[in-house]
Amino acid sequence: MTQPPLRVTVFGEYGAQNFGNEATLASFLTDLAVVEPTAAVTVVGSDPERVRADHGVAAVAMVAPWRPRVRRVGRLLDLAWLARQAARADLVVLPGTGIVEGIGRQATGIALSLCAMTWSARLLGRGVLGLTIGVEADGSRAVRRLHARTLRSLTWLSVRDASSLAAARALVPGLTCPVLPDPVLTRAPEEPTGEPTGETVVRDEVGVGVMSYFGRSGRPEQAMPEHVRYVEQMVELVARLVAAGHTVRLLHGDAADAPVVERVRAGVLGRLPDGSAPGRVVASPLGGVDDVQRVARGLRVLVAPRYHNLVGALTVATPCIAVAYGDKHRSLMREVGTPELCHDIEALDVDALVAQVEQVAGEWAAYSARVAAVLTRMRGTDEARLAQVRRAVEGSRRGARRLGPVPEPAGQA
């Protein structure tokens, strides 16, 4: 007798044009197709129409399709809507991304929706998989409590780095789970298409990633001074690199970053009015991590605050300098063997950053070799990630009710 398709519901901020989120979803769908090719997938995301177009799966919104004008009533309907989505699933999955983080989160926003989704699934006896997720124990007390409840609701759990494990243990003392690297980082990028030329890629540009940064709160109305300072620092950085003779390519990692990229470029051109400046400050139109990888092949070094811009560039062994707004950046740079290439976005020293760009650009081949060696080792963890998906699928097939994070499998740190 043929079994009915396993109903898998994926929850996350998908469809919002964040490169890392979309690449993570694509990676999970690839893994699921290997483990359970007949699964019926529904994504509960930010923009279901875009999810359907980009990923070819069914999708619904995080919010109820009909909402009254009274906000509190509307929010209650949203939570009931999420419970309904959980009831329709055999397995609920949180694949990757930094969804269990507090920066820019409000307790009544995505943190509450996440908790409602996972606890509804738990109470209904569904399997709930948190796969290589990013965790940070920051944000308000209410957000941290919601995130702790979310972690306790999971049937299976792995985190993407050591800092996420430490944060998860800060939220839920005694928690134990495997650390499996970000799947976007460990998946080998596709080789460029086209006729082979036999020529080595010439890395003759410096990349600078720009983001819509508004301070630790993430709320523009509360942090305009931080945003102004950040933009001024990026203008100063790029202007000095151009003055030193570099061609600088500006990158974004989210649709919200694009206006800031243009602001930085205009600021640089205003400081360097000579006729040669416009051609030496280039803004690339990007649509995702695959575009970041394509552009990164021509960079000697990338300076960036967006986590998955760094990940995309590292997958093609481009040396990166992180401008960190969270522990995930520091953990990533430690993992790839270059912990010294990390700067705090709130204490940015442009002089030190310029000097480090010059150093790495001059020694990019050595740095690239270090990163490539680490990536080779990390790509051996893909089977462990697939094994966890397989275990969650099999548990959901059996109607497993056991709750709580699974012990670490043998061989996992």
Q: According to the model, what pLDDT value does residue 223 have?
A: 64
- Which has more pLDDT, 411 or 151? 151
Provide the whole-model pTM: 0.88
Q: According to the model, what pLDDT value does residue 249 have?
A: 95
Instruction: At 253, list the tokens.
Output: 């990692």
Phi, psi of 92 (to 5 degrees): -105, 135
pLDDT over threshold 70, residue 193? no
Instruction: At 150, list the tokens.
Output: 């979310």
- Helices assigned H by DSSP within 65-161: 71-87, 110-123, 141-153
pLDDT over threshold 90, residue 323? yes
What mean pLDDT is reported for the chain? 88
Q: Count CB atoms within 10 A of the CB of residue 404.
A: 16
Contact 375, 408 (CB under 8 A): no
Q: According to the model, what pLDDT value does residue 191 have?
A: 63
Q: According to the model, what pLDDT value does residue 144 have?
A: 95
Q: How confident is the model at residue 200 (pLDDT cuts 50, 70, 90)?
A: very low
Angstrom distance (rounded) from CA 254 to CA 15:
11
Q: Which H helix or E strand runs over 264?
A: helix 258-271
The DSSP secondary-structure symbol of 218 reads: -
Average pLDDT over residues 340-368: 95
Q: In terms of Cα–Cα distance, which of 206, 164, 323, 200 is closest to 257?
A: 323
Helix axes 350-362, 364-378, angle to 10 degrees: 80
Average pLDDT over residues 189-205: 56
pLDDT over threshold 70, residue 412? no
Strands (E), 319-398: 320-324, 342-344
pLDDT over threshold 70, residue 53? yes
pLDDT over threshold 70, residue 244? yes
Mean pLDDT lowest for which of 26-40, 47-61, 283-297? 283-297
Q: According to the model, what pLDDT value does residue 84 have?
A: 96
pLDDT over threshold 50, residue 195? no
Q: According to the model, what pLDDT value does residue 413 have?
A: 35
How many H helices and E strands in the chain? 15, 12
pLDDT over threshold 80, residue 220? no
Angstrom distance (rounded) from CA 151 to CA 127:
13
pLDDT over threshold 90, residue 74? no
Residue with tokens 């000697």: 300
- Which has more pLDDT, 223 or 78? 78
- Please classify residue 49 by burial: count the beta carbons closer than 10 Å to its beta carbon, then call 0-12 exposed, 13-18 middle and 19+ buried: exposed
Question: What domains can be seen in the chain, in order of their start residue?
Answer: 7-187+379-398 (3.40.50.2000), 205-377 (3.40.50.2000)
Q: According to the model, what pLDDT value does residue 72 have?
A: 73
Q: How confident is the model at residue 209 (pLDDT cuts 50, 70, 90)?
A: very high
Angstrom distance (rounded) from CA 65 to CA 58:
15
Q: How far apart are the first and last CA of the chain?
A: 41
- Give residue-wise pLDDT tens across range 121-158: 999 999 999 999 999 998 899 999 999 999 999 999 99
Angstrom distance (rounded) from CA 120 to CA 65:
19
Q: How confident is the model at residue 194 (pLDDT cuts 50, 70, 90)?
A: very low
Cβ-Cβ contacts under 8 Å for 229 (sequence gap 6 or more): none
pLDDT over threshold 60, residue 199? no
Mean pLDDT lowest for which of 48-57, 154-163, 186-195, 212-221? 186-195
The DSSP secondary-structure symbol of 136 reads: -
